[in-house]
Structure 1
Amino acid sequence: MWYAVGAFLSPFVTMLLMGAGMNWKTILRLLAVLTVLIVLSYATMDYRKIEKEEKKETGEEHSQAAAPKEKFWFLKNTGFLLAVGALFFYMGLENSVNGWFVTYLKSTGFMSASLATVMVSVTWIMIMIGRIVIANVSKRVPPAKILAVISTLQFASVLILVLANNTAMAVAALVLLGLGMAGAFPTTTAFTGDLMGNSPLGMSVFTGIGSLGGILTPQVIGVLADKLGFQAAILFLVLDAFLLALFGAGALRYATNQKIQVERP
C-alpha cells in the first residue's frame, strides 16, 4: 500500500523539485541519501518482536508430525512453477510501466510529456484503489480465481493501450491496467504460500525469480527499442502480458484440478 503511495507521489515531487531549479544530478544525489537512510533504518531496527513470533510459529510447526521433504521439492510442484511464471511476467510488466510508459505515451503523438507523466501516477492511484477492493474480495474469493482475472485484465489493458489512437482510449487502458496490477503480487504470494506452507527457502526462490522479470524485461525493451524502434519494442510488453495471462489461467486450472484454492474451507 505505502509502496503505491510513494510511486504515485514521486513523479509530482520530482516535477516540483525540477520546477524549483534542481537539476537531475541533484535529485539523484537526494535519492542516494534516502537510500542510505533506508539501509540505516533496517540496520538499526528492533527485530526482537518479529523473532519471537517466528520462534513461536516454528515451535508450533515442530509440534506437528510431518514427513521430511527434499530441499527443493517445490521446484517439482506445477502450481509453484505457474505462480513463479506469473510473478516473473508481472514484475516485468510493472517495472516496464514505471520505466518506459512515459516515453511510450509521448511517442504516440497524441499525449503531451506532462500528461504522460501524470498518467503513470493515475495508474498508481488505481492500483491503490484496486488493492483496497481486492483486500475485501479476497475474503470471499480464493487467490487462484483472483489471479486468473487480474492477469487477463492486465493483458487486455496493455493490448488496448498499444492499439489506442487517442488520449481517451489510452487513459481508459491505463485505469484498467492499474486495477489489474493492484493485487497481482500479494495474490500470487498468497497462492504460493498456500501451496508451500510458507517455506522460507521456497518463498526466497519465488521472490528471487520474480525479481529477475522486473530486471530483464525493461532491459530487453530497451535493446529492442535501439534496434527496431520504440513502437516495435513495446510489442514485447504485449507478449509479456499475454504470458502473464497464460500463467494466471494455468494456476486456476491447476487449482481446480487439485481442488485447492477454489472453495474456502
Structure 2
Amino acid sequence: MNNKNKIILQTFYTFFVNGIMALMIGSIMPFIMEDYQLSYAVAGFFISLHSLGNLFASFVAGVGIYRFGRKKSIVVLSSLIALSYTGIVLTSYIPLLYVFFFLTGLGRGSVSNVNNAIINDIAVGKSSLLNLLHTFFAIGAFLTPIIASLITGAGYSWKVVVVLGIFLSASAVITYFIMKMEEIPDYSIETKEDVDDVIEEKEQDNLLPFYKSINFYVASALLFFYLGAENAVNGWLVTYFTDTGIVSVTYAQRLLSMLWVVIIGGRLLTAYLSRSFNPKTLILINSIGASVFFAILMSSSTALSVTVSLIAFGFFLAGIYPTTIASVGKVIKGSSSGMAILLAVAGIGGTIMPAVTGAVANVVGIAGGMSLITVSIILMLLLAIVLRYRANKEIQ
C-alpha cells in the first residue's frame, strides 16, 4: 500500500471514531437528564456547548496548525475528546460539565476540520472521496445508538458506553501520531509566491477567490442551516420520540442508528452519482427530499410512519454536507481560511439550533421545539435552489 492510500485510510478511521463520538451525546442524553435531573433547557445548552466547541475549532485548529504544524495540533486537540468524556463520566457538577461538553465539541470539530482538509488536499474538489470520508463518519454514527441500546438495555450504566468511546478516541489520537502528514500535498499559502501561484491557477480556470465568490457564501449559509438541523436531530431525536411516547427509548435509539445506516447508503450513492451529475444538482435533489420527509416525520404519530419517514429523510440528507464542501472545493483550494470560514459558519448553525430547540421545548414541549428544525431545513432548501441556479454565474 502506498503512503497516500495509507494516509487516506487512517483519515477514514479517525473520522469513523469521530462519528461514534458525534452520536454519543444524543444516545445517552435521556440517561444524563435522568441521572442529573436536568431540564430541556439545560440539556439543550449542553448540546449547544458541544456545537460551540465545534465552531471554535475552526479558529483554534487554524491557529494551532499555523504555529505548531498540522500533526502536533491535531494530536493535542483530538485528545480533548477522550479527556472531556472522561470528565463527564467522573463528575456531575454542572459548571464542570459545561466545560467538558464544550471541549468534546472543540476536539471533534478539530478532527472534522483537519480530516476534510486532508482529503480535499489529496483530491481537490472530488466529492466522491469526500463522500467516502463522510460515509465512514456515518458508519461510526450508526453504531453508537446500537451499542448504547445494547449496553443500557442489558442493565449497565450509560457510563459504560462513554468509557468505550474514550478508548476508541484514544486510538484515534495514536493514529494521528503515527500518520505521515508530511507526505500530504501542501496547499497552504505561506508566502507571496504561494499566493501568486494559487491566484494564477484560479485565473487560468476562470475562478474567483473564495472571498469574492457569491456561491461560496451561499454554500456557507446552506451548511449553516444543514448543520443546525443535523445537530438538533442528533441531539434531540431520541428524547423527542421517548418523551412524546411514540416509541420506547430502546426503539428510539435504534431508530437513530437506522437513520445513520441509511445515511451510509445515501453517501455511497451520492459518491457514485457525483461522477455523472453536477454537485449542485445533487444538493438540490437531496434538499427537496430531506425537506419533504422531515415534514412528514414531524407529523407522524405511529412507529411505522416514523420509521418510514425517518429512513427517507436520512437517505436524502446523506450527501448534502460533503457535496456542498466539494461544490466549492476548487474555490477554497490553497486557502486554509476559506475552509475554516466555511466550516465555522456551519458550526454557528450547529451551535444555535440545539439550544433554541431546547429552550422552546422547555416552554411549549419537545414537539414544538423539534418543529423549529423544519424551518431550518426549508431555508436550506431555498439556498440549495439559489446555489443550483447560480451554477453558471461563476465557474467553479
**Shift, 1:151, TM fit:** 1.2
Q: What do the CA deviations read for 1:27-69 (whole angstroms, capped 9, x no partner)? A: 334434443443343244321221xx2269998x83984689x
**Shift, 1:186, TM fit:** 1.2
**Shift, 1:17, TM fit:** 2.6
State the SS of the aligned residue for 1:87: helix
Q: Which residue of 1 aligns with 2:384?
A: 248
1:28 aligns with 2:162: yes
Amino acid at match of 1:184: I
1:148 aligns with 2:280: no
Call closer, same or farther: CA 1:67–1:137 in 2, change over 3 Å. closer
Q: Which residue of 2 aligns with 1:5?
A: 139
Call closer, same or farther: CA 1:26–1:79 in 2, change over 3 Å. same
Would the aligned equivalents of 2:290 and 2:312 in 1 still touch at CA under 8 Å? yes
In 1: Cα distance, 2:188 partner to 2:394 partner: 30
1:62 to 197, 205, 225: 197
Which consecutive aligned stretches of 4+ in structure 1 deviate over 6 angstroms post-superposition?
A: 55-59
Query: What is the CA RMSD across the aligned residues, in angstroms?
Result: 2.8
In 2: Cα distance, 1:189 partner to 1:86 partner: 10
- What percent of counterpart residues are identical? 30
In 2: Cα distance, 1:62 partner to 1:15 partner: 53
**Shift, 1:198, TM fit:** 5.4
In 1: Cα distance, 2:363 partner to 2:253 partner: 25
1:230 to 360, 366, 380: 366
Q: Which residue of 1 aligns with 2:216?
A: 80
1:186 aligns with 2:322: yes
In 2: Cα distance, 1:192 partner to 1:67 partner: 12
State the SS of the aligned residue for 2:186: helix
Call closer, same or farther: CA 1:79–1:56 in 2, change over 3 Å. closer
1:204 to 315, 340, 344: 340
More deviation in 22-31 or 164-173?
A: 22-31
Q: Which residue of 1 aligns with 2:148?
A: 14
In 2: Cα distance, 1:20 partner to 1:161 partner: 29
2:226 to 71, 90, 99: 90
**Shift, 1:127, TM fit:** 0.6
In 2: Cα distance, 1:99 partner to 1:15 partner: 16
Call closer, same or farther: CA 1:115–1:15 in 2, change over 3 Å. closer
Would the aligned equivalents of 1:193 and 1:199 in 2 still touch at CA under 8 Å? no
Q: What TM-score comes out, normalization by structure 1 length? A: 0.85
Unpaired segments of 5 or more residues in structure 1? none
2:179 to 24, 28, 45: 45
Call closer, same or farther: CA 1:26–1:132 in 2, change over 3 Å. closer
Q: Which residue of 1 aligns with 2:21?
A: none
Call closer, same or farther: CA 1:45–1:196 in 2, change over 3 Å. closer
Q: What do the CA deviations read for 1:202-247 (whole angstroms, capped 9, x no partner)? A: 1111012112222221121111111221111111101111111111
Call closer, same or farther: CA 1:7–1:46 in 2, change over 3 Å. same
State the SS of the aligned residue for 1:54: coil
Q: Which residue of 1 aligns with 2:239?
A: 103
Call closer, same or farther: CA 1:168–1:21 in 2, change over 3 Å. closer
More deviation in 245-254 or 17-26?
A: 17-26
Call closer, same or farther: CA 1:217–1:56 in 2, change over 3 Å. closer
> When the two structures are aligned, how many residues end up with a matched partner?
254
Call closer, same or farther: CA 1:251–1:224 in 2, change over 3 Å. same
In 2: Cα distance, 1:84 partner to 1:242 partner: 16
State the SS of the aligned residue for 2:321: helix
In 2: Cα distance, 1:55 partner to 1:248 partner: 28
Would the aligned equivalents of 1:153 and 1:180 in 2 still touch at CA under 8 Å? yes
State the SS of the aligned residue for 2:275: coil
In 2: Cα distance, 1:55 partner to 1:27 partner: 39
